[in-house]
Structure 1
Amino acid sequence: MGAVSPSSRALGMSMAAAVPDPARFDDHSRILELGPGTGVVTQCLIDRGVPEAALVLVEFSPEFCVLLRARFPAAHIIQGDAYAPSHAVDKALAGRRLEAVVSGLPLFTKPDEKRERVVGGALARMQPGAPFIQFSYALTVPVKPRRIGARLETSPWIKRNLPPARVLVYRSA
């Protein structure tokens, strides 16, 4: 777990708001969540209207996977390393349209190349303009958008989170 404390509902709602309108999703739509932890953001995605069955969650911790499977039985939960390419993720997304990637990964714990590979690789899987949504506590961004051919939008600081965080939305340029 890379977070100082679990994400607040305010942060989760802000991240979920950056997902395209779920009313426009169809049976082929998927949301990939990297590092869902205990599922705070996952629940906010569902509250926004994302169908639970459209969620593909990649979590490293086996204990959190058990919790996620109990909380979200219709979601597709993959126990694995979100920083490494995975056949299980490829299989879960095969023939599906990736509407957004929502990330709770502690990107600053990894070298630049690994961060760029995660964000840039996700953007390459999606339609142009689809969002890669990440939160950060830092004053600087974890991936420089020009390094991956993207543009970046940042939210105001969410002060109802401990520590305060902001939402970063990367989109292919």
Structure 2
Amino acid sequence: MAEAKRVRCHYSDDLKFLRSWAAKPLTTGAVSPSGRWLARAMAAAVDPAWEGTVVELGPGTGAVTAALLARGVAPERLLAIEYNPDFAEHIRGRFPGLGVTVGDAYQFGDALQRAGIDKVAAVVSSLPLFTQPPLRRRRLLDEAMTALDPGRPFIQFSYALVPPVPAEAGRWTLDVSGWIVRNLPPARVWTYRKA
């Protein structure tokens, strides 16, 4: 029974994503949610004991959110910033107690200020960064790094061979995972850390 419910929820999330992608492909950026292997790889870079709020950018239907919660991040210590109001409403219903705000993640500092967040433990992003100009991507990373303590991560996945934003000596470092082939399409996790 529980497995049948999980499968129904998975297909429902896939359908929500496909509809959203068909309507606005540059905003949604994917035709289906992140797979559980990718979501777990992203969540693995977050230590639930770190002080502050874990900020999730572009949670969609909540695949990575679920992995972060399973990792031990308390719902009240997680803020999801979602551009799509339908996805935000879905996340609120799926994860009671989770902080969800509708807004533009590329206005990172403003979104934190509106939510009253002053200490960020980590940033976990499922944004389709490659749909944005390089300067806008870099500005987002720069704003996030300003909010993070040295060594704390900005975690991003992509399907590309190159990083969404290159490493910058003296500002941030960059590590990349191997290909997560159980995800369709295969993806990699890029972890930026403030120098």
What is the TM-score with the length of structure 2 in the denominator? 0.82
Inter-partner Cα distance in structure 1 for 2:151 and 2:130: 24
Inter-partner Cα distance in structure 2 for 1:82 and 1:47: 24
| Aligned CA distance change for structure 1 residues 148 and 60 (closer, same or farther; 3 Å) | farther
Query: Are residue 14 (structure 1) and residue 41 (structure 2) matched?
Result: yes
* Structure 2 alignment gaps of length 5 or more: 1-27
Q: What corresponds to 1:92 in structure 2?
A: 115
Aligned length: 168
Residue pair 1:30, 1:54 contacting (<8 A) in 2 also: yes
Q: Which structure features the higher share of helix residues?
A: 2
Residue pair 1:4, 1:163 contacting (<8 A) in 2 also: no
Any residues of structure 2 matched to 1:112-127 within 5 Å, and which? 112-127=134-149
- Give secondary structure in 2 for the equivalent of 1:56: strand
Inter-partner Cα distance in structure 2 for 1:64 and 1:147: 36
Deviations 1:139-169 (A, max 9, x none): 0111011178210010110001010001000
CA deviation after TM superposition for structure 1 residue 90, in Å? 1.2
Runs of at least 4 residues of structure 1 off by over 6 A?
Answer: none
Root mean square deviation of aligned Cα: 1.6
* Structure 1 alignment gaps of length 5 or more: none
Q: Identity over aligned residues, as a percent?
A: 49
Of 56-65 and 80-89, the range deviating more from structure 2:
80-89
More contact order relative to length (CA 8 Å, sep ≥ 6): 1
Q: What corresponds to 1:109 in structure 2?
A: 131
Q: What corresponds to 2:9 in structure 1?
A: none
Residue pair 2:104, 2:111 contacting (<8 A) in 1 also: no
What is the TM-score with the length of structure 1 in the denominator? 0.91
Q: What corresponds to 1:138 in structure 2?
A: 160
CA deviation after TM superposition for structure 1 residue 53, in Å? 0.7
| Aligned CA distance change for structure 1 residues 37 and 13 (closer, same or farther; 3 Å) | same
